[in-house]
Structure 1
Amino acid sequence: MRRSFVLTLAAPAFATLALAQPPAAPTTPPTPPAQTGAPAGQENAVAATVNGESITLTEVDTLLKGTLPLTPLTVAQKRQMRIEVLSDIIDDLLLRQFLRKNGPKVDPAEIDAQLKAFGDKLKKDGKSLADFFKETGQTEAQVRESWTTAMQLTGYVKLNTTEEQLKAYFNANKDFFDHVEVKVQHVVLRVSKNATAVDRATAKEKLEAIRAEIAAGKLDFATAAKKNSHCPSAPNGGDIGYIARKGGLVDEAFAKAAFAMKSNELSGVIETDFGLHILQVTDRKPGTPSTYEKSATEVLDTYSDDFRTELIAKLRKQGQIQITVP
């Protein structure tokens, strides 16, 4: 199962905790950074509490290591990066909590079989499971929990979804299953999830002014991106290449807007968790027509990703979440 999601174009790509893919599937577990540890005296500091369950600062900094820039950060900048990493950890914990109560049971023997298969695969590359655990900074228990959660989610979705629903989902997202791609360029102004309403409004006003200049022919899109975009693509005129409708490295709101546009059309201001964007589609690849029958496995996989996103949003609203990250 893929973890859909974040627009990594405007911010560092952070590793995620839980949903590593069992080795029987096409992809292997993601590689979290090695253990780093919190500052002396803060090893057991609580970064957040989720429905009474604590997340430590050490867990947050473990995932943060490797994404930090070479230049020193201010206290405020480091805290902001911790909060962004913490958001992913909270999502994963909320999902695990839900599945503990509602998900189907997973026989430990299934995980044993997955580990054996993965170990056999590693041997072909001259490595062992012990090497894998050391390199990724994970314990066997953590990997088992990750794979168990992934299998529980798939099982829960299967039990609570009809084939009619999956067929309707296929038809609504045929661009994705046909593997249609669009080439996109964008200008993004980075705005934190926790930005104030005033800061967000200021950024939107600035971006709307940039858009107005482009629309009036006073400024071409590439120049606007080079001058203003908070994205590594800025030097390339904001060109991020071809994207798929779902399952890639872009936020759902971003992809949805891009696929609804005609070539060279200028979008309005689009808001994602990572900022405010204007975008332009410069090309479209038609892909290959597909059928539900041939795409059934991929449909379930992608549907599960979207189900997960919607479920977590619901759990966040219902849950008791207290953030205390220093």
Structure 2
Amino acid sequence: MVGGLNMDLRIRVPRLPSPGETVPGGRLDRGTGGKGANQAAAARRLGARTAMVGVMGDDEFGAQVSATLAEAGVDLAGVATVGGPTGTALILVDPAGENMIITSPGANGLLRPEDLGALSGRLDSAGVLLLQLEVPIETSTAAARLARAAGVSVVLNAAPLPTTVDDSLRELIGLADLLVVNETEAAGLIGDVAERLEGSDPLEYASALRHLGPAEVVVTLGARGAVLAGSDGRSRHLPTFPIEVVDAVGAGDTFCAELAVARATGVRELDAAVRRACAAGALATTRPGAQSAPSRFEVDALLAAPERPAPVSGGGAGRTGHAP
């Protein structure tokens, strides 16, 4: 894992505010976050040996992040500490589990390509390299090149998506074996193509994204599950699991973690890997917090349940049936 480490500051609110509006909220909760840290902790809970490469600040937040990940069993030998603040996320969560998130990169922005020595030493035994966009793109690109040279599969969760999709981001996407995005990120990546596809089936978005270079693409649809476009050229939809939503924060990271774990542990069929990811993401919404991933046993149990899950109509998190 090469990615961001944050401290999450979360407040539950009766509803998400409109621009310029003040909404009274509940208690301020703190917890370890950052897409890289979330996915690393989730992958470890899902049964994979996980090593993290990143940067955090020398503040109280950094100490808490380090302690939490160490307790989760994540290898932190590749995490450096620098002077200054640790990355921070401000999160609002409404009663339906929907959320609004603002991030401040802090130390995450200081991870440079020359800091990837710890990654090189771990690729020989790695099954998958999982990346996001919370550290500089040139650093993630350098990591992807190292992985490709070592014969290690690259899974890229292209989030949070920058406001401008430039050649450096396109290069990174082209190095990914598997690209994971939500609907908004998918539209941002394909730009004018998204305008031409507006109102069409999301399957077309997944197919269009494959033209950016990845052999496989997954587009998550919230309560509607996910669509995928595989190397066989076919696109298809997988429904979500009907489940009661408590907090959708971290569900997407759990989805990505299980997708990477499935691939690292030999689940080669994309449909099967995405099905496991949908189950893990759905279970993550049943408990609060960004690092609320289920265990491998819980995922297996949900997949083995006798009643097959049915598609859930509508968008967003909703109160039931949520995949990231």
For the criterion TM > 0.5, the same-fold answer is no
Short-chain TM bin:
under 0.3
Structure holding more helix per residue: 1
More relative contact order, 1 or 2 (CA 8 Å, 6+ apart): 1
TM (norm. structure 2) is 0.25
TM (norm. structure 1) is 0.25
Q: Which protein is bigger by CA-based radius of gyration?
A: 1
Structure holding more strand per residue: 2
